[in-house]
């Protein structure tokens, strides 16, 4: 399918259709035994043991992307590796939203970078807040979202960002509502599902299989990261998963060498079978500590409401969020005040650490 003629090609910013991406030395040529085409130093004087740090890394590492494709159960052409999923958010907005003409949709309370990235690129931000469902959880208001997408009297919505499992809530967005949204939106916009915390949900959850929906829904983009369950936040490695024609558009605007070679090497190693097994073992310990914290909080009188969590953090409503954060900070324990989020007044978020860190937290928290 021609990218320019597909609906994805029509959604992209018009000028990108005629742009030929920069052909870096690594992108335009491969092979050879003497590399004299990239103006590189012949070696790295400060780190002589690193005999490849003088070379630019791959534009997109096939080894890394194939490893993640295998992990996610999708094809190599459906993967773009980038500097954390934050860069993927930026790339999508830069690729599809004309400044001062197009908009992104968010569903508050949600991850703050969607709105910040949109604002820095001059795109409008449309908020369709989550609504309370019958079970008490906050879920997508699909009817309102679709109505706004189809409202031609207002700024056109090109991207819809949905965070599931939710940051900062900690719950899963109902997969049936996500599919309902995809069906209703059709070719009018892209639905971007941020699954940064996907490894923490139960293996039988339908959330785990959403990447497989890419074959059915070309309007779907899935964001993933190695920062959370894989414990590689310092490496800054994330992935955009989408149809190949959409990946090709993102490849036009991404930097010539998006990931450093140490990141590529570390991330590829982390996606080996032994490393995935170690990740899953650590994840089990994290979930154990989460349940320990949840049980403890039920006995703290100041914990007015404890939000259910399928992630590596817990959201708690307290009488005075700022005071509790300051109290913990003075004792050397840092937790997060989420009170600025819509509907989350006087809420704090606690990440789950190792057993020793959780011991210290429980000592510090008021009785």
pLDDT tens for the chain, 367 residues long, are 444 569 999 999 999 988 988 888 888 888 888 888 888 888 889 988 888 899 999 999 999 999 999 999 999 999 999 999 999 999 999 999 999 999 999 999 999 999 999 999 999 999 999 999 999 999 999 999 999 999 999 999 999 999 999 999 999 999 999 999 999 999 999 999 999 999 999 989 999 999 999 999 999 999 999 999 999 999 999 999 999 999 999 999 999 999 999 999 999 999 999 999 999 999 999 999 999 999 999 999 999 999 999 999 999 999 999 999 999 999 999 999 999 999 999 999 999 999 999 999 999 999 9
Cα 252 from Cα 13, distance rounded (Å):
12
Domain-embedded: residue 109: yes
Q: Under 8 Å CB-to-CB from 130, ≥6 apart: which residues? A: 107, 108, 109, 110, 138, 139, 140, 141, 169
214 C-beta neighbours (distance < 10 Å), count = 22
Domain-embedded: residue 241: yes
Domain-embedded: residue 355: yes
Cα-based distances in Å from 347 to 53, 336, 341: 45, 9, 9
Burial class (CB in 10 A: 0-12, 13-18, 19+), 257: middle
Domain-embedded: residue 41: no
Instruction: Print the domain residue range for 323.
Output: 274-364
Cα 220 from Cα 230, distance rounded (Å):
24
Cα 73 from Cα 195, distance rounded (Å):
15
Domain-embedded: residue 30: no
Q: Under 8 Å CB-to-CB from 287, ≥6 apart: which residues? A: 200
Cα 173 from Cα 164, distance rounded (Å):
5
Cα 189 from Cα 217, distance rounded (Å):
12
**Do 163 and 253 lie in a common domain?**
yes
Cα-based distances in Å from 215 to 74, 206, 229, 241: 9, 16, 26, 11
Last residue of a domain, one of 246, 271, 296: 271
**Do 99 and 230 lie in a common domain?**
yes
Name the pTM for this structure.
Answer: 0.94
Domain-embedded: residue 39: no
**Do 305 and 215 lie in a common domain?**
no
**Do 234 and 334 lie in a common domain?**
no
**Do 146 and 129 lie in a common domain?**
yes
CB distance 81 to 60 below 8 Å: yes
Count: domains in the chain: 2
Domain-embedded: residue 354: yes
In 98-181 the beta strands, taken as DSSP E runs, fall at 102-106, 124-127, 131-132, 138-139, 156-163
**Do 74 and 218 lie in a common domain?**
yes
**Do 180 and 309 lie in a common domain?**
no
H or E segment to which residue 305 belongs: strand 305-306
68 C-beta neighbours (distance < 10 Å), count = 25
CB distance 9 to 3 below 8 Å: yes
**Do 338 and 249 lie in a common domain?**
no
CATH of the domain at 301: 3.90.1150.10
**Do 173 and 316 lie in a common domain?**
no
Tokens 């335009």 belong to residue: 28
Domain-embedded: residue 52: no
**Do 181 and 93 lie in a common domain?**
yes
């Amino acid at each position: 399918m021609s990218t320019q003629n597909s609906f994805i090609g029509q959604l992209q910013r018009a000028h990108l259709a005629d742009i030929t991406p920069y052909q870096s030395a690594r992108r335009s040529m491969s092979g050879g035994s003497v590399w004299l085409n990239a103006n590189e130093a012949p070696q790295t004087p400060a780190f002589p043991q690193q005999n490849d740090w003088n070379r630019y890394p791959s534009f997109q590492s096939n080894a890394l992307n194939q490893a993640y494709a295998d992990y996610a159960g999708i094809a190599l052409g459906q993967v773009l590796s980038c500097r954390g999923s934050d860069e993927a958010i930026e790339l999508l907005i830069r690729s599809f939203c004309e400044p001062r003409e197009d908009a992104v949709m968010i569903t508050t309370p949600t991850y703050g970078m969607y709105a910040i990235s949109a604002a820095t690129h001059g795109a409008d931000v449309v908020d369709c807040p989550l609504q309370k469902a019958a079970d008490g959880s906050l879920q997508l208001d699909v009817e309102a979202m679709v109505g706004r997408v189809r409202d031609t009297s207002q700024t056109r919505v090109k991207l819809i960002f949905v965070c599931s499992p939710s940051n900062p809530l900690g719950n899963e967005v109902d997969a049936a509502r996500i599919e309902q949204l995809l069906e209703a939106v059709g070719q009018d916009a892209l639905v971007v599902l941020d699954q940064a915390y996907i490894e923490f949900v139960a293996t039988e959850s339908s959330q785990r299989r959403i990447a497989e929906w890419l074959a059915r829904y070309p309007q779907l983009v899935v964001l993933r990261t190695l920062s959370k369950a894989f414990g590689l936040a310092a490496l800054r490695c994330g992935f955009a998963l989408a149809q190949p024609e959409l990946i090709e558009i993102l490849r036009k605007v991404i930097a010539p060498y998006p990931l450093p070679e140490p990141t590529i090497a570390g991330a590829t190693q982390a996606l080996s079978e032994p490393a995935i097994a170690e990740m899953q073992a650590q994840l089990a310990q994290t979930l154990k500590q989460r349940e320990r914290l949840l049980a403890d909080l039920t006995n703290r009188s100041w914990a007015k409401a404890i939000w259910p969590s399928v992630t590596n953090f817990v959201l708690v409503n307290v009488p005075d969020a700022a005071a509790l954060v300051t109290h913990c900070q003075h004792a050397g324990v840092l937790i997060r005040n989420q009170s600025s989020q819509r509907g989350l007044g006087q809420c704090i978020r606690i990440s789950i650490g190792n057993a020793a860190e959780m011991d210290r937290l429980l000592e510090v928290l008021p009785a």
